[in-house]
Amino acid sequence: MRKDPWGNSFDEKKAAKEKRRQIEAANKMLIPAPKKTIKSMGLLSFDPSGTFRFAGGRWLKLYEVTGSIDEAVATAQMLKSRMRISIKYVPEKGDEVSKKAYISLMTSGEIYEDVRLLFKKDEEALQEMIGVRPLAVDEAIEVILSQLGTDRSFSYASFVRARRDLLKEISPVISGQRDHFQIEGTFGMSLFVKEYPIDTKEEAFSMLTKLGCPVFVTFDLVSINASDKEDYIRTLERRYARALSAEKINDFINISCQISFLCDSLDALKIIAKTTGTIFSRAGYVIAPMYSRQEESFLSQISLGLTDLKVLRNKDVDQVADLFRREYGSNKDKI
């Protein structure tokens, strides 16, 4: 078998090239992204109706939440996609706080038609359990721009025609430090939940509306299938050198949570960070700054997953479900 100087088979290279050609042919209905955008954020192409295709086989579709997220865990267990919930709290006049939530569906795949059908089925579950409105690409980018108060229209046609860099369109100039970041005269901090309480009656996320500053909360929920649970049990058995029964292992879900807030001074940032730490500590959580990943974390939040960052933890399904019902249940404003 002929090989190149690096030891790769010419037949294998030819087969790989042919596979790439077939994938691109199957996805030819998508609109290619400008080269600057491909280079900066890996966005290869998109369907104007609302689906984004990234390098590495990652796909994303965005929705506006029109109902309640209190049954988010039960919803996530019905989905084939990973679900991200992005919530923005903004203080208004007096004690009023505006709340807006969006859902991002993310999955892996090669052929758009397969991904489209998967998203379609998952969207049906979202409509049934939560209530959502799908966002076209232009709407999605306008929502992302509005995360930091930018009220600007977006046209994918002019964006492609001008060959612009989408990352520069949606991202402000963020100066990241080890434990905080700065956007011009605004200071911010991005944190993540390291540990979740087994049982708590204290509210934490609901209290973020009382901080008096813009707060961004992001939950990533990934359901665990039977095969993954079996692998997890095998790992535990090797670790503890004992046999375990699947029936005795509670169902669990992967959850990631990031929290970011913005302040008008560094002193205010320190006060808000201390207050946030106290709120979550009383409720049994352990939170910490996203050390040395401040810019990356915050951009992932305000881009609703166009740039991706998560810190997943295995957590008991019932405990996470209780978290959402307690923090976002029927006695709260709908989000």
Give the pair of three-digit tokens for residue 200.
């708590």
Examine residue 15 and state whether it is found in any structural domain, yes or no.
Answer: no
Give the pair of three-digit tokens for residue 288.
């910490």
What's the pLDDT score for residue 106? 98
Examine residue 6 and state whether it is found in any structural domain, yes or no.
Answer: no
What's the pLDDT score for residue 242? 79
| b/e per residue 215-249 (b: at least 16 CB within 10 A) | bbbbbbbbbbeeeeeeebbeeeeeeeeeeeeeeee
Q: Which residues contact 296 (CB under 8 A, 6 or more apart)?
A: 176, 290, 307, 309
Mean per-residue pLDDT pooled into runs of 10, the chain (335 residues):
64 68 79 97 97 97 97 96 96 82 97 96 98 98 94 94 96 93 96 92 92 97 79 74 69 95 97 97 96 97 97 93 90 61
Examine residue 17 and state whether it is found in any structural domain, yes or no.
Answer: no
How many domains does the structure of the chain reveal?
A: 1
SS (H, E, C) 43-75: EEEEECCCEEEEHHHEEEEEEEECCCCCCHHHH
- Domain that includes residue 38, residue range: 25-328
Examine residue 321 and state whether it is found in any structural domain, yes or no.
Answer: yes
Examine residue 151 and state whether it is found in any structural domain, yes or no.
Answer: yes
State which amino acid sits at residue 311: V
